[in-house]
């Protein structure tokens, strides 16, 4: 493989790695997900089925009530 082609491939890989690492550093919030349904409730919060807005992946999200946890000393 010619050296010029190797440099082009390495440059593309470095760019993709940089883009991936930038995405990893971003903090997620509840606004990044579309709630679909609640599958459970407990003393400290609830578990929901959600869809990630960017990728469309379906996941479970546990949403806790921080004030209630602190009040009970958990």
Cβ-Cβ contacts under 8 Å for 70 (sequence gap 6 or more): none
Task: For residue 62, say whether it is annotated as part of any ligand binding site.
Answer: yes
- Say if residues 33 and 43 touch (Cβ distance below 8 Å): no
**Residues annotated in a binding site for ATP:** 62
**Residues annotated in a binding site:** 62
């Amino acid at each position: 493989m010619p050296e010029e082609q190797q440099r082009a491939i390495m440059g593309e890989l470095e760019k993709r790695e940089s883009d991936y690492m930038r995405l990893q550093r971003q903090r997620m919030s509840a606004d990044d997900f579309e709630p679909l349904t609640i599958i459970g409730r407990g003393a400290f919060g609830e578990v929901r089925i959600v869809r990630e807005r960017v990728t469309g992946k379906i996941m479970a999200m546990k949403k806790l009530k921080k004030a209630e946890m602190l009040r009970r000393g958990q």
